[in-house]
Amino acid sequence: MYKKIAWKEYTPEVLEQLESFSADYRRFLDLGKTERECVLQAVTTAEKAGFRDMDALIGSGARLQPGDRVYRNWMGKCFMAFIVGKKPMERGMNILGAHIDSPRLDIKQNPVFEDQGLAYLDTHYYGGIKKYQWLALPLAIHGVVVKKNGEKVNVVIGEDPADPVFCITDLLPHLASEQMSKTAAKLVEGEALNLLAASRPTESEKEPVRDRLLAALKERCGLEEEDLVSAEIEVVPAGQAREMGLDRSMILGYGHDDRVCAYPSLRALADFDGVPEYTLCAVLTDKEEIGSVGATGMESLYFENTVSELLAMAEEYSGLRLRRVLQNSRMLSSDVSAGFDPAFAGVFDKNNAAFLGMGVCFNKYTGSRGKGGSSDANAEYVASIRRIMDDNGVFFQTAELGKVDAGGGGTIAYLCARYGMNVIDCGVPVLSMHAPWETVSKADVYEAYKCYRAFLKDAGE
């Protein structure tokens, strides 16, 4: 049911559009390997599409009218954009919500050390990863360092072909009999994920290689060791997203979870033409991979506060009116799903699995074992989504994350459902999810874009 191979239905014209969109998406991945980099791209895309900075407008006392486009950059890590609709905002908004953080390694604040003639950067892993997958790969560092005087230094090392890269070493198989007897979870400990960064000594006697590393950091970025205390530097796979397969039907890249939903969401809003009936919104949020906590996670009130500001600029604000706006809204929690992998078929229920090339995927509920922690969309809302997809010729499928007792996961859906709004998870099937390199189908990426455009246009009361 609801599973058709999208590729079989595409005309040459549609295939051309698909390839163009896929190329744009790969560029987004290459330029957005951190949440901060994604926000910078989102701001550029929004401003080209006529969106104005909401904070600047608040300061000027501007009033918003139907059709006005505004965005907000929250702490450089979250992005929200709105198109004001004709109907009162109390009637609810059509919201696309994705996250732009991805599993990775973070450089610790006191990271530099030397051991037996090698210098390292110490890391702390972020999000759910299989630690052994990060060994013996070319790695890059991306991030920002803020000096005491407020100066921000952006750091990207390992992406330019002329750049050096980094790696975390692994044990040769000849000496790995004890290592290989361990479970995958214990194959490498978190504290062993040390980034090899230098091996050439200076003339100093105490820690000559460590001193060489610090000197190189100062020469390249103008940074002192103390500056790393106020830094956010992430370790990610080095290299570009690539077309995958001899038929070029897939994309291999870092951070598909969840930028493969974030980019189509952003584009769907930016590409909207005209004045919508209902106010439209796209939210690109941070910290989903670690529970949506902190000032930039959906657990915080930054989204609610921003909607309050929007309401005050477009209509007369009141606490009750804000509650009505949120309660009456409709949302697609734009997040990825597990693609069926024949190599690991035993953890999937084939009748309720997502398959590559069969379109965007709806997960009525996520959670784990007995739907623990899930946001379960009601049948009426699912029916309305089915109608929108069919009316707009969107290829879609429904799925669960895996077999009932195999495990599970969650998204930001439950956090938005707290307001009483209708929410359903909707995203792209991914192979090798949370690995350094993940795989998606170009067809599913394109269908996600079509889906999000259709939802923004046609969702309503």
| Segment 179-197 mean pLDDT | 94
Give me the pLDDT at residue 199, please. 95
pLDDT band at 316 (very low <50, low <70, confident <90, very high): confident
Give the mean pLDDT of 350-375.
Answer: 88
CB-based burial of residue 380 (10 Å sphere; 0-12 exposed, 13-18 middle, 19+ buried)? exposed
For helices 442-458 and 379-391, angle between their N-to-C axes, nearest 10 degrees: 110
Q: What percent of the chain has pLDDT over 70?
A: 100
CATH topology of domain 6-102+254-458: Aminopeptidase (3.40.630)
Of 195 and 400, the one with more pLDDT: 195
8-state DSSP, 281:
E
Residues facing 233 on adjacent strands: 143
Angle of CA points 435, 441, 446, to nearest 5°: 125
The Cα–Cα gap between 143 and 141 comes to 7
Residue 372's pLDDT band (cuts 50, 70, 90): confident
Domain with CATH 3.40.630.10 in the chain: 6-102+254-458
Measured between alpha carbons, how far is 102 from 454 in angstroms, rounded to an integer? Answer: 27
Q: Report the percent of the chain where pLDDT is more than 90.
A: 90
Residue 244 has pLDDT above 80, yes or no: yes
pLDDT band at 105 (very low <50, low <70, confident <90, very high): very high
Residue 363's nearest CA partner among 296, 411, 319 is 411
Q: Of the ranges 40-54, 67-81, 85-99, 213-227, which one carries the lowest mean pLDDT score? A: 213-227
Contact 365, 377 (CB under 8 A): yes
302 closest CA partner among 65, 49, 43, 54: 54
User: What was the pLDDT predicted at 197?
Assistant: 97
Question: What pLDDT is recorded for position 403?
Answer: 84
Strand, coil or helix: what is 143?
A: strand
Q: Which residue ranges does the chain devote to CATH 2.30.250.10?
A: 104-237
CB 451 within 8 A of CB 90: no
Q: Which residue from 370, 359, 434 is spatially nearest to 398, judged by alpha carbons?
A: 359
Q: Which residue has the tokens 């599970």?
A: 408
CB atoms within 10 A of CB 214: 19
Superfamily of domain 104-237 in CATH is Aminopeptidase i, Domain 2 (2.30.250.10)
3-state helix, strand, coil in the chain (%, to 5): 35, 25, 40
Task: Identify the pLDDT of residue 50.
Answer: 97
Contact 440, 431 (CB under 8 A): yes
* Mean predicted confidence (pLDDT) in 107-121: 96
Task: Check whether 407 has a pLDDT greater than 80.
Answer: no
Instruction: Quote the pLDDT of residue 369.
Output: 77
| Whole-number pLDDT of residue 180 | 93
Which pair of structure tokens corresponds to residue 158? Answer: 């390992």
> 426 forms bridges with which residues in the sheet?
362
Q: What local confidence, expressed as pLDDT, does residue 2 receive?
A: 59
Return d(Cα 326, Cα 345) in angstroms, integer. Answer: 40
For residues 370 and 34, which has the higher predicted lDDT (pLDDT)? 34
402 pLDDT above the threshold of 90:
no
Query: Using an 8 Å Cβ cutoff, are 198 and 213 in contact?
Result: yes
Cα of 441 vs its chain's centroid, Å: 17
The pLDDT tens digits for 431-458 are: 999 999 999 999 999 999 999 999 999 9
Q: How far, rounded to the nearest angstrom, does the alpha carbon of residue 236 sit from its chain's CA centroid?
A: 14
Exposed, middle or buried: residue 11 (CB in 10 Å: 0-12, 13-18, 19+)? exposed
Question: What's residue 205's pLDDT?
Answer: 75
pLDDT in tens, 262-308: 999 999 999 999 999 999 999 999 999 999 999 999 999 999 999 99
Query: Predicted confidence band at 430 (pLDDT cuts at 50, 70, 90)?
Result: very high
CB under 8 Å to 297, separation ≥6 — which residues? 285, 286, 287, 288, 290, 291
Residue matched to tokens 């796209």: 282
What is the distance between the alpha carbons of residues 296 and 286, in angstroms, rounded to a whole number?
6
Q: What gap in Å lies between CA 75 and CA 35, rounded to an integer?
A: 11
What's the whole-number average pLDDT of the chain? 95
Confidence of residue 190 (pLDDT cuts 50, 70, 90): very high
